[in-house]
């Protein structure tokens, strides 16, 4: 079967750094997406990785290791507005998106 694993919930402090992990087992791989979803709102796109390595975009970075079936989203200089759920999604060999259940990130002052 196809599976995406993410921690259910994480807590971090404003101004700190947090790393949200995502491991996947899918039928093939054609890229990995990260989305942010604030409570009661729709998901919005954060990043896309298809090759191994780190992609940096402002305070957010995303890392991929295809050989390990692993990705992480790194959030720096945390702000209260970063409190949200972070969804990991993998595009399988049929270009279907497989979604993780999401990680709820709680930021404390």
Partner 1 sequence: NAGVTQTPKFRILKIGQSMTLQCAQDMNHNYMYWYRQDPGMGLKLIYYSVGAGITDKGEVPNGYNVSRSTTEDFPLRLELAAPSQTSVYFCASSYSSSGSVGELFFGEGSRLTVL
Interacting span for partner 1 (CB under 8 A) from 12-20, 64-72, 73-81, 83-91: 83-91
Question: Are residues 33 and 45 in contact, defined by beta-carbon separation less than 8 angstroms?
Answer: yes
By CB under 8 A, tell whether 36 contacts partner 1: no
| Least CB distance to partner 1 at residue 15 (A) | 28
Q: Does 91 bind partner 1 (CB under 8 A)?
A: yes
- Provide the minimum distance between the beta carbon of 109 and partner 1 in the complex, in angstroms, as a whole number: 25
d(CA 67, CA 90): 14
Residue range at the interface with partner 1 (CB under 8 A); choices 14-22, 65-73, 75-83, 97-105: 97-105
Cβ-based nearer residue to partner 1, 50 or 106: 50
3-state SS, one letter per residue, for the chain: CCEEECCCEEEEECCCCEEEEEEEECCCCCCEEEEEECCCCCCEEEEEECCCEEEEECCEEEEEECCCCEEEEEECCCCHHHCEEEEEEEECCCCCEEECCCEEEEEEC
Which residues here bind partner 1, judged by CB under 8 A?
A: 4, 8, 30-31, 33, 35, 41-45, 48, 50, 87, 89, 91, 95-97, 99-102
């Amino acid at each position: 079967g196809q599976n995406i694993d993410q921690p259910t919930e994480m807590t971090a402090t404003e101004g700190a750094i947090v790393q949200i992990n995502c491991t996947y087992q899918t039928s093939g791989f054609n890229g990995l997406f990260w989305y942010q979803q604030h409570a009661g709102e729709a998901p919005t796109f954060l990043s896309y990785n298809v090759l191994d390595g780190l992609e940096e975009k402002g305070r957010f970075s995303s890392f991929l290791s295809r050989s390990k079936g692993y990705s992480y989203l790194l959030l720096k200089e945390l702000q209260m507005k970063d409190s949200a759920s972070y969804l990991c999604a993998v595009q399988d060999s049929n270009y279907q998106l497989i979604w993780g259940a999401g990680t709820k990130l709680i930021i404390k002052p």
